[in-house]
Structure 1
Amino acid sequence: MTPTRRGPKKIDYVGAQSDGTKLAADLPAAVQVPDDAVAWTAVLGESTVRNLHSPDWKTREHALQAVMRSLGNARWNAERSPEDVWNTVTQLLDKALKDKVAPLYYASLELLSTLVATYSPNLPYGVLTQGLEPLMPTLLHRVGNNNARIQETSIQALLTLANQPALGLAFLAPHALSAIPKKSQSGAAAAIQMSGRLELITCMLNVQVQQQMGFGTAGRTPAAAAAAGKGGDALMAEDVVRFTRPALDMPDDKVRTAAVRLVAEVYRTRKAAGQPFEVEKMVGAGLKPALMQRLA
């Protein structure tokens, strides 16, 4: 008996999305380019844009890989405006990152990393953030995915932004410390989302400590810090603890442990810098004595 071939793994999403099936059903056999993607053809070519909207997920994956190869082609880049390429590919990624097919998500993350590494040094901060802002809700949501690989690759993609001098922690911090959407604040999703976000913030705090020790300059360049409205450290201890505080009361033991570890990390960094850290003042009243003892 011939085993049934399984399709690719599908994942959760934020907002409107499609795996291409519905789109294909609405279009003629020869895939037409949707109105909101017509402008992409000037940069990517009509064939590539059509393939990005194919009902076949492998064709969509190959199209993403073709765009990534183009970004590494010096002649291709020389023939196009950097701002046009950035705007087109970030618009493409806003759709591709929401694809339910997991391999498409991984391919989209690779394309994002390549795009940021290639173009962020040469574009104004405002252009960079205008393209990246729409992608952040999807990336942050996937940080809270219960699939370990999806969570890890999402965190690494965000850390790629943090390690780019033109963006860095100054850009990423406000997003990482933003409130988790209400629809993910209850049930099993609450623990998964908070756990992933705590892991991201812990990684970001480690990046900041490395920068304080002189390793790397990402997010500490005058232009990036000024544009983000920050001076000095992008991750302020008070902001980190304020975000983490609700996690200390969550019923999930893994979440509480991650929260304690993060607050303890804040304590160590402040102590190393010769700054005071009063647990009750920073964390607030009402914490269980056992947890307070672990933090003290």
Structure 2
Amino acid sequence: SHTRGAAAMFAHVVQRLRRTFSRGGARRIHTAPDGATRGGGEGPKAGDDVRPGTVGADGGGLVVAARSGGVVVSSSTVVNDAPAPAAAATPGGRSAVDEAAKRKDAQDAQMKERKRRMAALVRVFGDGVVDNALSRTWQSRVDALAAVKAAVEAKAPSLKVAGEADEFTRLFRASCKMAERGVHDKVPPVFLASVDLTAAIVASALPADAAARDKGIGPLVPPLVRACGTSNARVQEASVQVLMAMAHAPELGAAALAPHVLAPVDAKATAVVAARLLLLQALLPLVGLDGEGGFTLDNTMEIVLPALSQADTKTRRLAMAVATELYRHAGADVTRYTNTLPAAMLRKLDKRFAKVDAAAAGGATPAWRGGDGAADGGGDFDEKDEAADAGPVATQLVGDDGGDAGADREGALAELGKSLVSSISSGRHSSPERSSPEHAVPTRPGGPQLMRGGRVRPNRRGGGGDDG
């Protein structure tokens, strides 16, 4: 009976082992957790020739046949004769080391291939700068872009004066490639370093060849325009400033920016729409609507008209400022697009258009508006209303007399980045219902409530209210 009981126990162990090692592999030996039992034997060792139906060398083990192979159960050791998975080594074992070595070899090969493709950059800036540009550490990438910027500022003027066109073009192409890598980087310090490099290129390294210039600068414009609508204030400001520098550069001009500024945009992306409107507000006084700069009344109104119906207050005000600037250039043709707007918006736009007409006619209302040409100052238009809607920078950009604002406009362009940050940040969560103090709500239940007209309703529950 003792033998039958032991055999039943061993059969139970075999069933569990079959479930555990059903997939098979090489012969393995597993030490039992309970140590030696009756018989006192040590059981078979690794490498012992163990077959189903035999007894261990010390008599303390019993071999039982199983589907997964022969299994030996002894006093302290279990031998599984089933095949083990080939890659089932313990962590840190030989297979883990091999996998780590393979990954490192693959990474090294990838790095060599990337450096091979960037061989032109290595010849211009050196191996160390390119290694930093390809580094996974963002600070190393920033250092690489700073080194390229220093090289551009140091070499470009001298090469241009010396007339070394080939070397100058190679420097321009290599620096644009480095800047292109940076403007697609998701780390803000790396992006800002690439913007600084782009500004240095625009300032001193633009070649005379238009094809080479467009090929180098063209890929930089779309990510810079997209960055104007991000939530990072520094990224917004830097992007707008470098785009304005491109627009002012005689070699580039606003024509290089127009296709990207006028690209279709989702109307629900309030920050992106506001960024496009501010760019239009800055670019239109520079290039107008003659078509040479890429801006026409049709393609510009495709962005302005939906923005005039936005629920966001700041976006609507920016759209009205851009519509006013369009009216300065196109006149009554703008009304062909705006006549489908709500009556309240039409009244606001009409006030702004009347001021433009009055300034152009020396204070007289044009006859097409129903006036007789007498100087009436544009009706009941309030100058403070336009200043509040467009903002101080917008007022300087469009000018008060419809002409060139000179130094004021130049200063306004320099401050455009800050205006973008403040306008988008303050208007991102605003709504028409909460845009004025008379629609304010109490900050806590039971506290004093601000009523329409600015009157305060006292707390009648006692404690903190005004009895008066």
TM-score category of the 2 structures, normalised to the smaller one: 0.7 to 0.9
Q: Aligned residue for 2:307?
A: 247
Residue equivalent to 2:136: 55
TM-score, normalised via structure 2 length: 0.47
Deviations 1:3-59 (A, max 9, x none): xxxxxxxxxxxxxxxxxxxxx997349x75714323311111111100111122112
Question: Which structure shows the higher helix fraction?
Answer: 1
Mapped partners of 2:167, 2:287: distance in 1 = 33
- The CA deviation string for residues 94-135 of structure 1, in whole angstroms up to 9 with x for no partner, is 211111111111111110011122122x32111111112222
Rg larger for: 2
Distance 2:333 2:291 in 1: 24
Does the alignment pair 1:103 with 2:162?
A: no
How many residues matched? Answer: 241
1:208 offset after TM fit, Å?
Answer: 3.8
Q: What percentage of residue pairs aligned between the two structures are identical?
A: 27
In the alignment, the residues of structure 1 paired with residue 241 and residue 112 of structure 2 have an alpha-carbon distance, to the nearest angstrom, of: 34
Is the CA contact (8 Å cut-off) linking 2:230 and 2:272 kept in structure 1? yes
Which one of 268, 276, 279 corresponds to residue 197 of structure 1?
276
Gap change, CA 1:32 and 1:60, over 3 Å in 2: farther
Correspondence for 1:161 among 246, 255, 266:
246
Contact 2:230 2:236 in 1 (8 A): yes
Query: How far did 1:242 drift?
Result: 3.1
- Amino acid aligned to 1:149: R
Unaligned runs of 5+ in 1: 1-23, 213-228
Structure with the larger strand share: 2
Q: Residue 261 of structure 2 corresponds to which residue in structure 1?
A: 176
Distance in structure 2 (CA, Å) of the matches to 1:170 and 1:75? 25
Please say if residues 70 and 77 of structure 1, whose CA atoms lie closer than 8 Å, have aligned partners that are also in contact: no
SS in 1 for 2:332: coil
List alignment gaps of at least 5 residues for structure 2: 1-103, 351-468
Per-residue CA distance 1:56-82 (angstroms, 9 max, x = gap) = 211211111111111122389648612
Rate the CA distance shift 1:293–1:93 in 2: closer, same or farther, 3 A. same
* Counterpart-to-counterpart distance in 1, 2:302 and 2:132: 45
The letter of the residue matching 2:262 is L
Residue in structure 2 matched with residue 225 of structure 1 by the alignment: none
Task: Give the deviation of 1:234 after TM superposition.
Answer: 4.7
Whether 2:136 is the aligned partner of 1:136: answer: no
CA–CA distance in 2 between the matches of 1:135 and 1:98? Answer: 9
Q: Which moved further from structure 2: 139-148 or 103-112?
A: 139-148
| Structure 1 stretches of 4+ moved >6 Å | none
1:82 matched residue in structure 2: 168
Query: Partner letter of residue 56 of structure 1?
Result: T
Structure number with greater CO (CA < 8 Å, separation at least 6) is 1
Give the conservation status (yes or no) of the 8 Å contact 1:145–1:193: yes
TM-score scaled by length of structure 1: 0.72
| Cα distance in structure 2, aligned partners of 1:169 and 1:75 | 24
Equivalent in the alignment of 1:5: none
Q: Establish whether residue 264 from structure 1 lines up as the match of residue 312 from structure 2.
A: no
Shift of the 76–124 alpha-carbon distance from structure 1 to 2, 3 Å rule, reads closer
